[in-house]
Chains A and B, each alone.
Chain A
Amino acid sequence: MFELRIHGRGGQGVVTATEMMSVAAFAEGRHAQAFPSFGSERTGAPVVAFCRIADKEIRLREPIMEPDAIIIQDPTLLHQVDVFAGLKKNGYMLLNTNRSFEALGLGDFIAGRPAERLCTLPATEIGLKHIGRPIPNMPLIAGFAALSGLIRLESVVKAIGEKFSGKMAEGNIAAASEAYNLIKTRMAEVAHV
């Protein structure tokens, strides 16, 4: 069973991101469970959502405390929330920023962790470019698909197609595709190094 935790702020589509992740996994014939942290949080407040993916029925209902991966939708949370809590030693981490880990003071954190599993993505900018709104969730999901290989881009695209229509679907698919390709390129660079 693979366990993913997404941190973000109310209004950034954190809950939708885990839902889309589960829909994408479902499209690949897998079992998936997505659930929010259930706060009565308003726009801007820290939000956590969870997603489990497995090949058999998922019965577990506890929050994900030792995730295999985390996605951080807003780097300002780094100073406010213990976003890395319980992240497995070889876990994945995808951070929405146009800065480097070092610039964000995460040098100590990434040291000793597998570099090919840690990545940044300027998801807000990608969202702005394709959707016209600073919503980073779909680029991050697609970027995570590229980073982890857990789900395929086509499944993310399919999930977007089910959730959105018209221009919103087109924009989100374009954003997802750009993010996916960007991470793939970055990973190729890391592998090359």
Chain B
Amino acid sequence: MFKQIEGSKAVAEAVALCRPEVICAYPISPQTHIVEALGESVKSGALTPCEFINVESEFAAMSVAIGASATGARSYTATASQGLLFMVEAIYNASGLGLPIVMTVANRAIGAPINIWNDHSDSLSQRDSGWMQLFAETNQEALDLHIQAFKLAEELSLPVMVCMDGFILTHAYERVDMPSQQQVDAYLPPYEPRQVLDPREPVSIGAMVGPEAFMEVKYLAHAKQMQALERIPQLAAEFKQVFGRGTGGLTHTYHGEDAETIIIAMGSVLGTVKDTVDEMRDGGHKIGVLGITSYRPFPVAQVREALAHCKRFVVLEKSLAVGMGGILATDVRMAMSGRGSLRGFTVVAGLGGRAITRKSLHKLFREAEQETLQPLTFLDLDWNVVNKQLAREREVRRSGPAAENILRDIGTVASKIA
């Protein structure tokens, strides 16, 4: 059924259709609307049986999910940004124990400086945590990915983050096709745990593992994610059979066939990129798009295949590996190692909610086509304020807090639209 609905509400409805049994909630923007809506569903009795627990921190949220999942309950939580970082120890623990928790990450920047707006720094910081990470391009895909995520997580006994751009998706009202309970039930079977705390068959979970076995246990986690590379496209295909939509999967290509330049990105920015590419195609540019849906596991083979015939690629990413450049770009370049003639460009864009506009993308993509782009570019970076602060730091020792200096240099922003 089509609905015009906020992204967070759409995700909350989809999660409720997945019949979660334990939901842990701790507020942090821009995730909060999701757990609020789920809390209402549980309290009203619409979602039952389900325990909705208002915990005291994100660390507790993940820890409650760990206990619940280990006791055989389908467990869910949602977070973002600082919240994700606050639960990091438990995040690694959940994946290490092989507990299939599903968590929404409403992607948001990490401070300092504190910033509530969207970029991908938060979940990408958990790149190596052992969680799978699926990135949604639209609210429809965010909704669908949650349904697929529970199935993927539980089949492999590994946790999954469904990543959706904070505010840009979570707070956007748009049309989604909301599946029925029957459809979701047909797709997603009840959770059958591989390990469960039960007095009928006592097990000890979480013993210390020494050098004699630690590598094997860790390799197994890697092997499972390699299995996921096979399983994710199958789950997307099965999903299409039941729901009629081709969302999910490992990657999506757009005008990839004859493209000489391919833009690689994750999440909602793909929409703006595609609109820009359409306009450029109208002007005769041979340009295409590769959207990465599965960031972990990383689809090396699919990326290689998608880039097999292009001359150059641009990784447009909302994240920064400080001291190095790109995070996603590192993976793409790794996937393309050995392809000597292929030119790769890293573009860091949209950090802390900086708008990524068609105007900027047009200019950027043309520079990429002409290969005049620097290997590492910061899109729409205001060099004036950066240079001013650098000069200030050269001139005086006590130059003061950098972020506040820059804000003072820029002046009030309330008068600006974007």
Q: Are A and B in direct contact (Cβ within 8 Å)? A: yes
Task: List residues of chain A with CB under 8 Å of any chain B CB.
Answer: 5, 18-19, 22-23, 25-27, 31-38, 40, 45-46, 48, 58-65, 80-82, 85-86
* Beta-carbon nearest neighbor of A5 in chain B: B417
CA distance A33 to B4 in the complex (A): 9
Contact status A59-B175, CB under 8 Å: no
Question: Which residues from chain B contact A18 at a C-beta distance below 8 Å?
Answer: 173
Q: Is the interface of B mostly helix, strand, loop or mixed?
A: loop
CA distance A148 to B127 in the complex (A): 48
Question: Which residues from chain B contact A59 at a C-beta distance below 8 Å?
Answer: 138, 270-272, 274-275
Contact status B353-A85, CB under 8 Å: no
Of the candidates B173, B270, B418, the one whose C-beta lies within 8 Å of that of A63 is B418
Assuming the contacts A35-B173, A85-B417, asked whether A62 and B167 have C-beta atoms less than 8 A apart, the reply is no
Contact status B357-A33, CB under 8 Å: no
Contact status A62-B358, CB under 8 Å: yes
* Beta-carbon nearest neighbor of A63 in chain B: B418
Nearest first, the 4 closest Cβ-Cβ pairs linking A and B are: A59-B271, A26-B4, A63-B418, A38-B167
Q: 9 new A-B pairs (CB below 8 Å) besides A26-B175, A61-B168?
A: A23-B173, A32-B173, A38-B353, A59-B138, A59-B272, A60-B272, A61-B165, A62-B357, A82-B416
- Which of A5, A19, A64, A86 counts the most B-chain CB atoms under 10 A from its CB? A19
- What is the minimal beta-carbon distance from B359 to any residue of chain A, in angstroms? 8
Contact status B414-A38, CB under 8 Å: no
Contact status A40-B29, CB under 8 Å: yes
- Which of A5, A35, A36, A80 counts the most B-chain CB atoms under 10 A from its CB? A35
Question: Which residues from chain B contact A35 at a C-beta distance below 8 Å?
Answer: 167-168, 171-173
Is B36 in the interface zone, CB < 8 Å from A? no
Question: Which residues from chain B contact A64 at a C-beta distance below 8 Å?
Answer: 417
Contact status A38-B116, CB under 8 Å: yes
Contact status A63-B175, CB under 8 Å: no
Of the candidates B165, B173, B275, the one whose C-beta lies within 8 Å of that of A34 is B173
CA distance A5 to B415 in the complex (A): 14
Question: Which residues from chain A contact B418 at a C-beta distance below 8 Å?
Answer: 62-63, 65
Interface residues of B in 145-180 (CB under 8 A from A): 165, 167-168, 171-175
CA distance A59 to B416 in the complex (A): 24
